[in-house]
């Protein structure tokens, strides 16, 4: 009798587990902030759902995607630092290998059209391919990754719930990652509340003065409330002869793209040090000192940094202090601690 009732108990449990794999298309609401430009990502091709987002987050935090089983996407993209690799000059990967570039943030990627410092990816769904396959980042192997996922009951369940075809393949894997990244919107800093005239949006005299200086001297490149115009520019950094990173030229092979890198967003910049494509500056003060005193001339130097033979941007010490005060109003603590994006 005991064995009979044990069997009857197990069978319903097995049946309920298989039912968990039913496709669950519960959409996630994606609200574009009123002070933001329109979405660049084609949301109709891959609308975020609860299970798609959950699957994407699981993939994002899973070190098993890398060849050594340790390096996940989150290793170089830490939430409390706006998903950058805070404190690391350049990215580190499998077997402690070092790259040559600083890890960019993944915030507000749904509003961007090109990704990576040199624009090597122009579709968010395909952007993760680059770090996944990089020998010095994750050094992943798609066949091994898919085999691992097919052997993991949690992945089997989530793929079944996230996609109507239930298939565990690279297309669905990247769509899930995109759903996770698309929802990563940082738009609740004190500055945002100031711009939207919301409670908590009061700026101090110095912060407001810094905003005025910023708009006059920095907003050509760091444009809109995204604080980037998504362009590629040579900002006058001296070339590191040990690396000689030629920037966007590596991709396009066009002479005019030598030493041009993507203009990064300044959102949450207070917590994303070090700065520049190679992480050479550890403080915001050092960044402003570069623009005021150390811009190096070259054929492809951005024209805004060479006005009538005068290199750089004229900034007084007071203006630098005010700009930094303003930049700190872009810190979005709600985003940096939002448990939706946490492991």
- Say which DSSP state 49 is in: B
Whole-number percent of the chain with pLDDT over 90: 91
* Distance from C-alpha of 96 to C-alpha of 14, rounded to nearest angstrom: 43
The closest alpha carbon to 267, from 230, 229, 225, belongs to 225
Do residues 125 and 46 lie in contact, with contact meaning Cβ atoms separated by under 8 Å? yes
pLDDT digits (tens, 9 = 90+) for 176-220: 999 999 999 999 999 999 999 999 999 999 999 999 999 999 999
pLDDT at 32 over 50: yes
Question: How high is the mean pLDDT of the chain?
Answer: 93
Q: Exposed, middle or buried by CB within 10 Å (0-12, 13-18, 19+), for 10?
A: exposed
* Distance from C-alpha of 237 to C-alpha of 300, rounded to nearest angstrom: 11
Give the pTM: 0.91
Checking 248-251 for CB contacts under 8 A at 24+ apart, the result is 248/118, 248/119, 250/118, 251/118, 251/119, 251/120
Q: Going along the chain, which residue ranges are E strands?
A: 232-233, 261-262, 306-307, 310-311
pLDDT band at 21 (very low <50, low <70, confident <90, very high): confident
The first and second tokens of residue 142, run together, are 């798609």
Cα 67 to chain centroid, rounded:
22
The first and second tokens of residue 305, run together, are 């940094």
Written as one string, the DSSP assignment of 274-290 is SBSTT--B-SHHHHHHH
């Amino acid at each position: 009798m005991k064995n009979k009732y044990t069997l009857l108990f197990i069978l319903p449990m097995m049946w309920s587990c298989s039912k968990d794999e039913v496709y669950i298309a519960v959409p996630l609401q994606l609200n574009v902030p009123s002070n933001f430009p329109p979405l660049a990502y084609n949301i109709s091709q891959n609308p975020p759902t609860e299970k798609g987002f959950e699957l994407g987050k699981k993939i994002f935090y899973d070190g098993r995607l890398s060849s050594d089983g340790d390096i996940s996407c989150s290793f170089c993209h830490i939430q409390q630092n706006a998903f950058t690799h805070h404190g690391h000059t350049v990215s580190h990967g499998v077997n402690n290998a070092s790259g040559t570039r600083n890890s960019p943030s993944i915030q507000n990627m749904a509003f961007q059209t090109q990704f990576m410092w040199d624009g090597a990816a122009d579709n968010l769904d395909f952007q993760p391919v680059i770090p996944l396959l990089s020998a010095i980042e994750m050094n992943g192997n798609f066949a091994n990754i898919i085999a691992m996922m097919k052997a993991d009951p949690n992945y089997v369940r989530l793929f079944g719930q996230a996609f109507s075809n239930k298939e565990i393949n690279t297309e669905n894997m990247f769509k899930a990652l995109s759903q996770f990244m698309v929802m990563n919107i940082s738009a609740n800093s004190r500055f945002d509340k100031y711009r939207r005239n919301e409670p908590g949006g009061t700026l101090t005299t110095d912060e407001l003065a810094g905003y005025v200086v910023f708009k006059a001297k920095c907003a050509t490149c760091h444009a809109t409330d995204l604080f980037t115009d998504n362009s590629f520019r040579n900002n006058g950094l001296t070339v590191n002869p040990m690396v000689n990173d030629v920037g966007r030229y590596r991709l396009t092979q066009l002479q005019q793209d030598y030493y041009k890198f993507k203009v990064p967003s300044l959102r949450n910049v207070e917590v994303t040090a070090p700065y520049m494509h190679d992480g050479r500056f550890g403080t915001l003060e050092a960044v402003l000192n570069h623009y005021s005193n150390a811009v190096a001339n070259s054929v492809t130097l951005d024209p805004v940094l060479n006005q009538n033979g005068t290199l750089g941007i004229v900034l007084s010490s007071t203006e630098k202090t005010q700009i930094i005060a303003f930049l700190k109003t872009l810190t979005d603590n709600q985003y940096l601690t939002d448990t939706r994006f946490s492991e």
